[in-house]
Chains A and B, each alone.
Chain A
């Protein structure tokens, strides 16, 4: 369980997420609680290991932000090269989703109604509502002063 004291060193991946992954990887297998706990800690250590290596690679590259490429190189240099092809699928998915979003938002912009027209329509609607309210007011006052 993550510490609520704010101490960064107590941060781990939530147990529930690990349990879910274990269950999906080993369905119908019982796993002792202390084994689960160890997996949580190992996962956390793994993240520290890779990010630390990626950070070093990043520093050497004179860039300020750790990029996916740095992570990939870190995986390779630490012996986890077999993860790279699947990890690259995530990158591809990110780019596809980002591209879809850009296309979708530009489609919305191009619906064809310019802003001035939208404003005019809005003013019309407000005017209509005002008129409607004026007609209704006498009825409302009957409610309050029977």
Chain B
């Protein structure tokens, strides 16, 4: 079996780890792999919408998508706690507002509360 990284130009990665190639594939088809619940193309488009951003590597996009999933899970759970404290079974917008105010790291969201 030929060793991986056979030395053809396409197979080499720079020492800095900058993705010259090969393009890493989104973990989807392998059993037990994390299927990203966010469309990666859209995440990439959002990143590129920032005029200061020039290039973002594909792996960076994957992990950013995963972080965004974790963020949604976290904020949803936090908001649900607020709803339960209010003895409600339906999550309302104000539960999210409360969750945002309660957590320092969510301060960046205060501009979206309109």
Do the beta carbons of A29 and B46 come within 8 Å of each other?
no
**Size band of the interface chain A makes with B:** 35 or more
Segment of A19-27, A115-123, A127-135 engaged in the interface with chain B: A19-27
CB atoms of B93 and A32 under 8 A apart: yes
| B91/A38 in contact, CB under 8 A | no
A88: B residues at CB distance < 8 A: 63
Chain A positions within 8 Å of B50 at CB level: 48, 51-52, 55
Smallest CB separation, B94 vs chain A (Å): 8
User: Who on chain B is nearest to A98 by CB?
Assistant: B24
Count class of interface residues, chain B: 35 or more
Contact residues of A between 30 and 54, Cβ < 8 Å to B: 30-32, 34-35, 38-39, 41-52, 54
| Chain A residue at minimum C-beta to C-beta distance from B30 | A97
Residues of B within 8 A of A66 (CB): 47, 53, 55-57, 60
Contacts of A13 in B (CB 8 A): 38-39, 42-43, 46, 68
Cross-chain contact B42 with A51 (CB below 8 angstroms) = no
Residue B73 lies at the interface, judged by CB distance under 8 Å to chain A: yes
Residues 7-46 of B, flagged 1 when their CB comes within 8 A of A and 0 if not, give 0000100001111001011110010011011110011011
A residues sitting closer than 8 Å to B (CB atoms) are: 2, 8-9, 11-14, 17-18, 20-22, 24-26, 29-32, 34-35, 38-39, 41-52, 54-55, 63-72, 75, 78-80, 83, 86-91, 93-103, 106-107, 109-110
